Amino acid sequence: MSAITLSEQERNRLHRAHPEVFHRSIWQRWGALLLVLGALGYLAYCWSFFDVGQKLSEGKWERASIYMADWISWEAQPRFRFQPDGSIQIEHQRFSPLGENPDPDWMTTLPDGREEVTFGSADDRVEVASTGVVAVLGGVAYDVAFSGEAALLPANAPAAMTEKNGRVTVDFGFAGSAEIRATQVLIRRRFLGWENFWFDTTSPFWGMGLPELWTSVTTGPQIEPDRSNASLALHEFLTNSEWQHGDVLNKLLQTIVMAFVGTLFAACLAFPLAFIAARNVTNSKPANWITKRFFDFTRSVDMLIWALVFTRGFGPGPLAGIAAIFVTDTGTFGKLYSEAIENIDDKQREGIRSVGASPADVNRYGIVPQIAPVVISQTLYFWEANIRGATIIGAVGAGGIGLKLLEAMRTNQDWENVAYMVVLILGVVFLFDSLSNAIRSRLIGSAGH
């Protein structure tokens, strides 16, 4: 393919006809590169201003792994105390998940009086005696002796054994750990799953497997004379003192109701106000301006702030949450609805007005059908988003599962309960997302036919 040669006269003509092509500005030539450099510079400034590097280096990352493990597992913490007579006293934590008088199969009393705790297999165990402790890691035994008030780290100790302040810690990985002192040995034995999720240790159904539970509920002897075993099992599940299923589900229902009622009230108020704010419907500039400023005021204050305000006014509870969602979404819906009205095609309105229809009928048949898909879609989206928002405002006293979630996090020990409530919230969000999509598709599809 041969190259095309232009004459000087033709080149000058092209320069005059298209100067923007041949004489591009610096921004046109280097704009993309300048944007990238500006973004990188801003990130570097943020890194320095917020001391990100120092925060990362000082972060207690080991706690993250512990918290994540607590989400999916639980711990039993027996303690072996050495008595003056050389015997060993076994203590379990208060409200032990092992129930009263626990005798787990991973704890064994040896013939010579020593106590043995296994961590998954016989190759990983601890043998406890008042004169010393033997830690077995991977089948290799390590003797931990006592000197006064201190436990001594063996000379050949592996990396899984450490010593600090006279205490020797043996790390068995996910299975747990043992903290050896001269006066006692604290065992942390970890198990996958959520302990006593269905029934607490005081329930007559505690410890039953699924087949045994089914037999007890369906054909077993009646436990209480005034109720069936099935009714008793449901009651014991809902009143589980460790998981509080009934209270959690009640708080979750409060969150759903808060989101639904707050969104519904906001949509009902914002919809007629949007017609006043729309310039192509209401010709009064003061009315337009006042209504739009009202929308700006209510939506510019965050929902969390409104929740704090209404909690002070109404006291803690769902009413404050409903009011916070109602006020915030009224401003948001009003802005979205009024903009949708201002962007309609006026030909449909003019056609209805030309047959002598009243102003109300003009709005009803000339505007509403055009904005219905937008209004429905946006309202349903905010409804499902407010379920998540109601969880956050619940944490500041507006009721719902958010407050329950905050209480579990404050203890710093009930992370499995936190995981449980997070799973419930995710399930509800997924459910209502699917439900809103189905409603949106049906209503908007019907409107389009």
Distance set, CA 107 to CA 104, 136, 374 (Å): 6, 15, 64
| Mean pLDDT computed over 86-93 | 86
pLDDT at 328: 92
33 in a domain, yes or no?
Answer: no
Q: What distance in Å separates the CA atoms of residue 387 and residue 434, rounded to the nearest whole number? A: 14
Do residues 151 and 257 share a domain?
Answer: no
Average pLDDT of the chain to the nearest whole number: 85
Strands of the 107-109 sheet, one edge to the other: 107-109, 115-118, 125-129, 132-137, 140-147, 150-151
233 within 8 A of 242, measured Cβ to Cβ: no
User: In this predicted model, what pLDDT tens digit does every residue of 250-284 receive, in sequence order?
Assistant: 999 989 989 999 999 999 999 999 989 888 878 88
Strands (E), 97-148: 107-109, 115-118, 125-129, 132-137, 140-147
| 226 located within any domain | no
Work out the number of other CB atoms within 10 angstroms of the CB of residue 93. Answer: 12
Per-residue pLDDT tens over the stretch 145-197: 888 888 888 888 888 899 888 899 999 988 889 999 988 999 999 988 888 88
pLDDT of 332 reads 92
Do 407 and 281 share a structural domain?
yes
Q: Kindly state whether residues 90 and 158 are assigned to the same domain.
A: yes
Which residue, of 149, 174, 192, is where some domain finishes?
192
382 and 276 in one domain?
A: yes
Tell me the torsion sign for CA atoms 301, 303, 304, 309. positive
Residues 261 and 392 in one domain: yes
Residue 414 has pLDDT above 80, yes or no: no
The answer to whether residues 193 and 72 touch, using CB atoms and an 8 Å cutoff, is yes
- List the structure tokens of 336: 């979205």
How many domains is the chain partitioned into structurally? Answer: 2
Q: How many residues does the chain have?
A: 449
Whether residues 257 and 396 fall in one domain: yes
Predicted confidence at residue 412, as pLDDT, reads: 67
Helix (H, G, I), strand (E, B) or coil at 116: strand
Q: 15 in a domain, yes or no?
A: no
Tell me, what DSSP letter sits at residue 372?
H
Neighbours of 237 (CB within 10 A): 17
> Hey, is 91 helix, strand or coil?
strand
Distances in Å between the Cα of 134 and the Cα atoms of 122, 126, 130, 149, 409 are 13, 6, 11, 18, 37
Contacts of 196 (CB under 8 A, 6+ apart): 97, 206, 240, 242, 243
The pLDDT value given to residue 70: 80
Calpha distance 417→402 (Å, rounded): 13
The single-letter code of the amino acid at 82 is F
> Does the pLDDT of residue 449 top 50, yes or no?
no
**Greater confidence, 75 or 442?**
75
Neighbours of 315 (CB within 10 A): 11
- d(CA 282, CA 350) in angstroms, rounded, equals 15
Residue 8 has pLDDT above 50, yes or no: yes
- In this structure, the answer to whether residues 255 and 395 fall within a common structural domain is yes
Looking only at Cα atoms, what is the longest distance across the chain?
114
Place of tokens 């001269």: 182
Residue 368: what pLDDT?
Answer: 82
Does some domain include residue 1? Answer: no
Q: What percent of the chain has pLDDT over 70?
A: 95
Does the structure show a pLDDT above 60 at 1? no
So what's the pLDDT on residue 363?
Answer: 77
Q: In terms of residue numbers, what domain contains 334?
A: 245-448
Q: CA 267, CA 392: separation in Å to the nearest integer?
A: 21
Residues 290 and 429 in one domain: yes
pLDDT tens-digit series, residues 364-411: 878 888 888 888 888 888 888 888 888 888 877 777 888 888 888 877
Interatomic CA distance for residues 427 and 347, integer angstroms:
45
Residue 408 covered by a domain = yes
In the prediction, which pLDDT does 31 show?
78
Residue 439 placed within a domain: yes
CATH number at residue 362: 1.10.3720.10
What is the band of 40 on the pLDDT scale with cuts at 50, 70, 90?
A: very high
User: Alpha-carbon distance 361 to 66, whole Å?
Assistant: 64
Please state the rounded mean pLDDT for residues 108-116.
86
Residues 84 and 187 in one domain: yes
3-state SS assignment for residue 191: strand
pLDDT at 41: 93
Which CA distances in Å does 446 have to 70, 255, 320, 369, 372? 49, 31, 36, 11, 11
Query: Is residue 81 packed enough to be buried (19+ CB in 10 Å), middle (13-18) or exposed (0-12)?
Result: middle
Token pair listed for 416: 């499995």
Of the listed ranges 109-118, 163-172, 400-409, 438-447, the least confidently predicted one is: 438-447
In this prediction, residue 179 carries a pLDDT of: 93
pLDDT bin (cut points 50, 70, 90) of residue 22 is low
**pLDDT given for residue 270 in this prediction:** 92
CA distance 178 to 137: 12
Q: Residues 155, 298: one domain?
A: no
Separation CA 189–CA 431 (nearest Å): 37
DSSP result, 345-395: -HHHHHHHHHTT--HHHHHHHHTHHHHHHHHHHHHHHHHHHHHHHHHHHII
Q: In this model, does residue 293 exceed pLDDT 80?
A: yes
Q: Judge whether 336 lies within some domain.
A: yes
pLDDT band at 2 (very low <50, low <70, confident <90, very high): low
Whose CA is closest to 194, among 106, 75, 72? 72
Which of 155, 177, 192 delimits the end of a domain?
192
Q: Are residues 289 and 181 in the same domain?
A: no
Q: For residue 397, is it within any domain?
A: yes
Q: What is the pLDDT of residue 264?
A: 93
Nearest residue to 386 via CA among 235, 237, 267 = 267
* Both structure tokens of 62: 């080991």
Q: Are residues 293 and 412 in the same domain?
A: yes
Average pLDDT (228-239) is 90
Domain termination residue (choose one: 168, 192, 216):
192
Q: What is the pLDDT of residue 351?
A: 81
Helix (H, G, I), strand (E, B) or coil at 280: coil
Per-residue model confidence (pLDDT) at position 23: 67
